[in-house]
Amino acid sequence: MSNNSNEMLGVSLFGKVRRKVLSTFVLNPDRSFYLLELIRLLNCGRGAVQREVSRLSKAGFLIRTRVGNQVHYVANQQNLIYLELRSIFSKTTGLVDLLNADLECCSDPLGMAFIYGDYACGAANDTSPVCLAVIGDTTMDAIKSCTSDFTKETVRHLHITVITPSDLKRRVIAGDRKVREILSGSRIFLAGGEKELTILTTTGDDLFSGIY
């Protein structure tokens, strides 16, 4: 979990298991889940997940249907507080999950993607943009296409930077100011990780020697 204040706001509003269950349903409104699938996905105890799903179903927030031998649950988008809950999760603890889900729909392979800047380091305010860096052989058009609804759902501007690995190499060696900004500070990875980024940016005297 990031130490981001928006993330912590979501944690303070809901218990751990309820937050995970609600976030899964409100950020995946058209997908149904069965109980064992949820337990594996959320990595929480069976009893805790079952209790939360039962409560949310009885409250009318989840729709329960039987598919063969399985009981499936899906978010009830007609529930009186559905839109309010989606807004809360999109702006707080679910923002990263929402962006991650959008990127999973990208038509191009991502390579590496991470959030940097104020949101990643926990210094974001209500007007701070979410800064996204994508390092790979994808295009800006592809990233913008799959994240087109993000700003509307989170009420946050999404600032996107797309860099190919070869361009990153050139700009690091040149001491490019924008790349230095992207690589400094905290990061929340959505694809790839620190190990891959280190391989790309730190190899002896020549930052990219041996990467061909």
Cα 144 to Cα 24: distance, rounded to the nearest angstrom: 23
The pLDDT score that the predictor gives to residue 54 is 95
pTM above 0.75, yes or no: no
Residues 147 and 59 occupy one common structural domain: no
Question: Of the given ranges (21-30, 84-93, 172-181), which has the lowest mean pLDDT?
Answer: 84-93
Please identify, among 34, 69, 87, the residue that sits at the C-terminal boundary of a domain.
87
Q: What is the pLDDT of residue 13?
A: 67
Same-domain pairing of 126 and 56: no
The tally of domains found in the chain comes to 2
User: What mean pLDDT is predicted for residues 89-108?
Assistant: 77
CATH number, residue 135 = 3.30.460.10
Contacts of 168 (CB under 8 A, 6+ apart): 135, 179, 200, 201
Give the mean pLDDT of the chain: 83
Positive or negative: CA dihedral 76, 81, 87, 88 = negative
Report which of residues 203 and 153 the model is more confident about. Answer: 153
What's the Cα-to-Cα distance from 148 to each of 17, 49, 53, 141, 152, rounded to whole Å?
Answer: 30, 32, 31, 10, 8
Residue 66 sits in the same domain as residue 131 = no
Q: What does the alpha-carbon distance between residue 6 and residue 189 come to, in Å, rounded to a whole number?
A: 17
